[in-house]
Structure 1
Amino acid sequence: MTKQIYDVIGIGIGPYNMGLAALLEKTELNGAFFEKSPSFAWHPGMLIEKMDLQVPFLADLATFADPKSPYTFMNYLYEQDRMFPFFFHNQTKVPRQEYNDYLQWAAKKLVGLHFGHTIVDVIDKYEAEVPHYEVVALETETGKHHHYLAKHVVMGTGNEPLIIDGMDGLPEGDVLHTSRYLYEKENLLKSKHVTVVGSGQSAIEVFLDLLEEQRRNDMKLSLLTRTGGLFQLDQAKFAQEVFTPAYVDYFHSLSYQQRLENLESLGALRKGIDPDTLTRLYTDLYHKTAGGEKDYVLINPMTEVKSIHPSEKGGYELQCNQWQEKIDYRYHTDKVILATGYKPHIPDWFMDRFKQKIKWEDEKHYRVTRDYQLEFLDQRDHHFFTLTNLTHSHGAGATNLGLAVHRNVHIINTIAGKTIYKNQQNSTFQTFSMKRFKDD
């Protein structure tokens, strides 16, 4: 066992923990980060060509905290000789494939990143002379367990695909989540009928990509959505201010019930579809249906898929419900793509070791402080931070790439016990809380 005690160990290497590693390099704090995958890849199954991020390029690993960092997207463009093409491209959003390449570029430059290491346990050494955590990593290549010590831990274990109950036993080449789309795309294009289930950005991107790749007249595409229609993302300037530190301050100050109600009211900001993507889809449909041919495309809103079962005649039967008309019906298809979103990935060791030690909002949501610490039943100075499962505590911006840097600023300043990076103030034109105006 190594005797070195790191200031912080990060569990999982995605954009969030990678951004933390980037900001740590300019501090006196030392850290190590571990990821089970053999190398970095950002949603490889959904890196569809000509699809852009939904946030501007400033939402990189470091810019909001340190514009002079060597890990900014601007520096990536400079080192890749793409400054002038980006300048003439004249867009603030970047292609997803380029964003993935940027993150891979950063991963090669950052120190302290350990791929091919699965964290299998985290032991709370709260009774030690210097309280710390013992982090156990399983190295994939050798099968050996390695033990690391850290004053603080940051859990960034991300999300995992959310599927409809009872469908996990079906062949993944036939019934698959969007996270595997590109791996199965060639096979899907050979099918006579592909149905996409979902109404968010991923659903429309997959449906649009299949539509643009469609070459046969006998191939049918269907889109079944539970929502009332294909509604676009609210990109109004004032609406976007919910993705600011000031709004996170306000949201976190609300009661748990108020926070849940708040999230329900922000559907157009959380689940809407990029307007450019919808325009592109409508334009493609218009051109493809010139001459009156419409039979190969079906879009059914207000339709909930209750279950999926293999059909006696081949393919699959979807048990559907048009919830507004209250009509149940069956729908036959050859392949099914589930754009049913994701759920937080909470490791088994976390529940085994920490469930009884921390405070909970309800049975699924743990309590988290404003600076992203889990709230323990006992007082402690060795903190357990989480970047996972934060929507209930920090709002719609919990998965926003721009706010990820702001989150890391909070974590680093808390660990250091002083202000290392500036915490952005006065970030909105709106004032959300009226507490300072309250009559005594």
Structure 2
Amino acid sequence: MDDDAQPLLLADIFDVLLAEPSPVRFTAYDGSATGPADAAITIALNTPRAAAYMATAPGSLGMARAYVTGDVQVTGVHPGNPYALLAAMDQLKWRRPDVRTALRIARSLGMKRLVPPPPPPQEALPDWRRALEGLRHSKHRDAEAIHHHYDVSNAFYELLLGDSMTYTCACYPHEDATLEEAQDNKYDLVARKLGLKPGMRLLDVGCGWGGMVRHAAKHYGVKALGVTLSAEQAEWAQQEIKRQGLEDLAEVRFSDYRDVVEGDFDAVSSIGLTEHIGVGNYPSYFEFIGSKLRPGARLLNHSITRPDNIHQPRVKGGFIDRYIFPDGELTGAGGLIVALQNSGLEMRHEESLREHYARTCYAWCENLVANWDAAVAEVGEATAKIWGLYLAGSSLGFDKRQIELHQVLAVKPDERGRSGMPLRPDWGV
């Protein structure tokens, strides 16, 4: 009998698709296995649905679906921090099968495995279905995207983020700094870059749970307004403002930043917002921010970026788009600065905090591991696993410079071009 006519077992298919030996052990429900018997990590395909997920959505999406549903089980790593799994998978070298091999794989899997199973309920709608709900980055669709990601559960975020309730890149002042120290240091760095002083007015767009708002009010005597599209964030933040006795200076509002009517702010902070607004909307975004600043006022924009500025279409249908940031979109720091400058703002300082974000995401994973049982009780095992996968993958992505984090400081010059900036940076490190 022709070898090509014989069906392949799942482990055989795995071997056929690999260009080099796997560092992980792979086992399957059909009794087949491959990879080192003493490997630290084992990936087990436990059900035919696992094979169907991976065959019909090759790459991160199919694997995530099978992992989230429990059809794939992994031993050797904690689900709250599967960094070692993702780092090992990142070492795999895949090869594209020729037509003859691809047909043999399809015959081996059978027609049932080539029909996509229903995705897990935690998955966002595909892009074409979202389009029926409105234009991408319209106010309604942005609100839905934010709801999908941020309105998970404030109690869950408390377990994940720690006391600061800060879901943006920290800035570690030294190697041994804790996450809480690093988050406080980040807020203070932003405050110093903005030149905050008592009596100033700050607008924080995309303010999350109000960490920057509270820091500016408490430590700098600034009257701070934060806006967020998450109702749960706004409610939590207002309660914390009241608990700390900051009502006279701090406010967090459930609102789209485009609906802020106040103006003549002395400073604007945007920490983790531009990832959500769409690259095509950068010009109108920076124009809006500029309209809210008085002459001589500063903007600090803190956001994730790509490592290059080559125009690329938005990645649709992957794990991040379907489970984490529906409609999320990135460009390079250069593209962001170009849009900022074209709006009339003057770029004064830029720095990368890429390594800091790798460390931040890893610290969140460790929080998830430490609070795993409580997190699962709060949001369910599937959602907790999604977050472990996402944050570990993000930590690896920042480590490998697949993504970056940049802070850009800008100023709105007056009609004569005067910035009011010091001759040299005065905000320290």
TM-score band w.r.t. shorter chain: under 0.3
Q: Normalized against structure 1, the TM-score is what?
A: 0.26
Higher RCO by CA contacts (8 Å cutoff, separation 6 or greater): 1
Q: Normalized against structure 2, the TM-score is what?
A: 0.26
